[in-house]
Structure 1
């Protein structure tokens, strides 16, 4: 039995070793134009746009891999700021949908940084005058990026290339700690701890793409049914989110399950729960999450969703859509700063007789997701990317936003 377990544990590593390294991507210009044409179609469908600073950078290191930033000819460790590689670049092409940066150096030398299912790679051609196929430099894997990921192409989806980028923006925000555990955070530069709500939406995407193993160990270590990220408050939507997360990798015997059930006493009112979420009471949203968590684990459920207006009710679009009282929707400021709210609301109404497309899109190729002016974000962490973002309090990519967009477009 031990030998079988060891074999299963090593299988992904052995598979990664058996896959040949990537070759030079043949036509990055054409790939970029194809991606931009897909983005254009999406922007024609979703007409609310926001200007974002076009920083011309790309993040490498999805999932449990070391995180890197490419910008201005440098490959930088995103979490330490160390410059790992540096080139004098004549021209660069960033192709987000191919996880590719294509660099042209002096004397016709080409450098490509590529991320694929087995790691982050640097590929290089020699100078044009010395080019010989037999002497082509071998692809070199960037340090601590050897791991197996599922990176679908979503070829059967209208916005498949956009889904590729959104998937990247979710997986890039899984950060592995010194304990070897991958934690899903809203943004790798300004958040150090997972938020259960964001993590739950990220997990929905990882379930679709076969990458739940990236956060399995983190879920197994959860003991507190509250993430306590909003000024230390025990938020009433958290227990349901924790129960759902547990259901993805374990069962009712997980230690946090009983803690989550015991915690409900402080929120229970008649046959529903009510407490604080984002500083306000959202009993419909909170009870929906609880019921969904209980259902996901096959636990008894005596709760009833209250029949009242709740601005967060429409954030819960994948179940209980009939239990909703219409009212004021999220405004433009919320959509600009917290675009995940409007994308979730759109998804909710897309499942009714009154579909809407108010979700905000940026005007740049990459990233596609962001968050601004969040009360609990540590914006000085953006210094490694660009000091200007610290003052703007603008962090991207953002995993909840990316997940809401992904799940909406994937659902089409």
Structure 2
């Protein structure tokens, strides 16, 4: 059993307070007093109001008459003081989810024995917060599939999965989604009303690079599919727009047959974002890259912060409404700005201890899945935690 849950919660709250001091934009969230167990490929469980139940079936695993419940997100722990003053702890570790009672051997919860890696991040400024964000990424892996939120999304989104993959690469957890990546054949997830979104192509190549190589069957399918999104980069496109200087050889001749990618992403054209993704995917696998990033304004350009940051046309930042409903957008934008030497902190931080990530008003989410926690969440069209948001926060804060 954890020896000092009160002390651990105090340390976590101090760390969270420090985060809120430095990232002052705050979003009020309902304080549901729950915790999710079952990271990675484990049975998903919810603790709430004295009950530990399976999240997808509602089946009650255990229930207690509780005097006080102490939820310690950074320790993956719920500490219960029962009406008879005895204590129970539900805790998740690298081997499974356990129920601890004084004087008894720990009880492994059925369906949760599955190995994963849970770093402490003790050497990081936001160590306790990083542990929670890591949890919010891993909790949304279900049957080997990385989804944005397992209660409201039934299928993976390649965009979200790519950011989740970046987190899992850092924490040595790629084995959790390797089988899913190896089975990818369609280079489009088609989650936005069946549209084949151009950015998916680079994301699939990157995901493949995490666990495989150029021989993966999806690679050929991407290379065949990408041709229909290629557009010629005409001299007038770059010659007539004032842009931030792009580092390139002064002796390199202009190539009239340069091409870039352009198609739909979130129902709009985002050629810079899409071209950066295909270039990064090709580079990740050591494949030839014929693409040139167009020097045009693209509102999604700042979402791509890990490479090609010098090839960007500045414009309007995401508005406050976007930052509240889709907070991964402003966290990614903050990361881009930090990489380019501008200290801007617009990313939203929630008002509750847990969870730290969310999404609201998403067009393709089935919010009925949130009623297992509270029916009002469906009315508010609010889901939490959310993997893209958690991953963006994690990847910025760990630096």
Q: TM-score, normalised by structure 2?
A: 0.93
Which residue of structure 2 aligns with residue 66 of structure 1? 43
- Out of 221, 224, 227, the residue aligned to residue 186 of structure 2 is 224
Which residue of structure 2 aligns with residue 313 of structure 1? 301
Aligned residues: 373
Which residue of structure 2 aligns with residue 150 of structure 1? 117
Which residues in structure 2 correspond to 1:205-220 (within 5 Å)? 205-220=167-182
Measured after TM superposition, the shift of residue 385 of structure 1 is 1.4
How far apart are the structure 2 equivalents of 1:86 and 1:185?
29
Measured after TM superposition, the shift of residue 307 of structure 1 is 0.3
Structure 2 residue 216 is matched with structure 1 residue 254 = yes
Which residues in structure 2 correspond to 1:247-396 (within 5 Å)? 247-270=209-232, 271-396=259-384
Structure 2 residue 197 is matched with structure 1 residue 244 = no
**Deviations, residues 278-310 of structure 1 (Å, cap 9, x unaligned):** 010000000000000000000000100000100
User: Which 4+ runs in 1 deviate beyond 3 A?
Assistant: none
- Out of 170, 187, 212, the residue aligned to residue 149 of structure 2 is 187
**Deviations, residues 72-117 of structure 1 (Å, cap 9, x unaligned):** 0001101111111110100010000000000001222100000001
Which residue of structure 2 aligns with residue 174 of structure 1? 141
Which residue of structure 1 aligns with residue 85 of structure 2? 108
Where does structure 2 lack aligned partners over 5 or more consecutive residues? Answer: 233-258
Root-mean-square deviation (CA, aligned residues, Å) is: 0.6
How far apart are the structure 1 equivalents of 2:85 and 2:362?
45
How far apart are the structure 1 equivalents of 2:130 and 2:327?
17
Which residue of structure 1 aligns with residue 23 of structure 2? 46
**Deviations, residues 333-357 of structure 1 (Å, cap 9, x unaligned):** 0000000000000000001122211
Larger helix percent: 1
How far apart are the structure 1 equivalents of 2:271 and 2:27?
32
Which residue of structure 2 aligns with residue 201 of structure 1? 163
Structure 2 residue 377 is matched with structure 1 residue 400 = no
Give the 3-state SS of the residue equivalent to 1:224 in structure 2: coil
**Deviations, residues 35-84 of structure 1 (Å, cap 9, x unaligned):** 00000000000000011000000000000110000000001101111111
Measured after TM superposition, the shift of residue 330 of structure 1 is 0.2
Q: TM-score, normalised by structure 1?
A: 0.90
- Out of 53, 57, 60, the residue aligned to residue 34 of structure 2 is 57
Where does structure 1 lack aligned partners over 5 or more consecutive residues? Answer: 1-23, 126-135, 177-181
